[in-house]
Structure 1
Amino acid sequence: MKKLLGLVAVCTVLLLSGCQINKKAQIKALADCEYDVESVEQVRFNGKKIESYKGADGNYNISSLAGLAVALFSKELPLEGKVNLKITNPEIKKAAFNSFKYIIEIQGSPLFEGKVDQNVNLSQGESVIVPMTFKANIFNKAKENGFERFFDEMFNKKSEGFLALKIKPSINIAGQNIYYPSYITVDKNFGKKLFDLFGK
């Protein structure tokens, strides 16, 4: 009886060790995938299509927008759109996602946080496009930095790090979502992608 219990205990330890190794391998597969902003759609600022603010010189003339006075009163300056994220698995091991969180940062601070629930299974070389929508009020950030300077930096200069897109993918183990330990940076120059890729 003691031998049987000992055998069961050893098997349990080996099984748990195997599960831990498998979990680490699955989580590593998430980090090994390639993430890229394929396209952006339906970008609107202050309720209007973003292209309506574009001048003949190719720059966005946001500082002179007609609705700014109303925005100053309401303290609402919404920026919204849809990002099509391309996920590619370059590795031999299959990459399986259950869901992932995504965050848009502005000047290093969270601007918008969202979540996508979508089962994705990618073999080597396979890709998938995952749509992510966002809507955020940038009024406070614009006020802190000065509206004209903020708009020019965000929409025209699009400096690296001003807007960044990050995700945190997860796998499902025993009915529970296990997320990658930290956010993976998809694009630290997301502002450039957001406005340069729009409409292409």
Structure 2
Amino acid sequence: MSTWTLEGEKEGEIISALLNETDRAAAIIAGTIVEDRLSRKLKANLRNDDTKLVTAAVTEMFRSSGPLGVFANKIRLGYLMRLYGSTAYKDLVAIKDIRNLFAHKMDILSFKTNEIANLCQNLKIVESYFLLDTDKSRLFNWPQITNGTFSKEDWDTLTLHNSSIMGTVYTKDRQAVLGDNRERFLSSCGIFMSHLSFNGEKVPLFFGDEQPPST
């Protein structure tokens, strides 16, 4: 599983226990932690005047029955604020849907359920964090910028550099890892936990609105 960025001893205990939980409990807990991280990321990028008016407005917006009380609206707002790009947006929607299906459909018990499995396989960012051992050598060849642009190969190398900073996992059998729906989901949650904890206006490059060149 990818590296999880933990905030406090209590969260560490939760994550440790999470690995031994049932599929339902693991999905609900991990998805809820991602939502919490996103909520904090959104609040950190709002106006931060230390006034009662700002505090009251934020409280009202994020209360459970408020406009930003649901995961879906937080995901949309983060995208509209350009905190992450379209791939991250779609992955967050999938994480939200998986969590909600486990929470509200009693007949869904496992990550092997077709509806859940299909959503897990739609999680794409995780594919850039589980790399083959042979990809390590590429990390030592920084791309060169020519006339202000990257070639497609250089862009791929740059995203490898970026992902290596935030918890890349190297494996001899990448497909075995990514083909396990529970592993794919929990690793995706771990990646978002790390990136949404990033201390900056936006999360790192791989999550940005920038797109690799078409040629």
Q: TM range, normalised to the smaller chain?
A: under 0.3
Q: Which structure shows the higher helix fraction?
A: 2
Q: Which structure shows the higher strand fraction?
A: 1
Q: Which has the higher contact order (CA 8 A, sep 6+)?
A: 2
Q: TM-score, normalised by structure 1?
A: 0.27
Q: Name the larger-Rg structure.
A: 1
Q: TM-score, normalised by structure 2?
A: 0.26
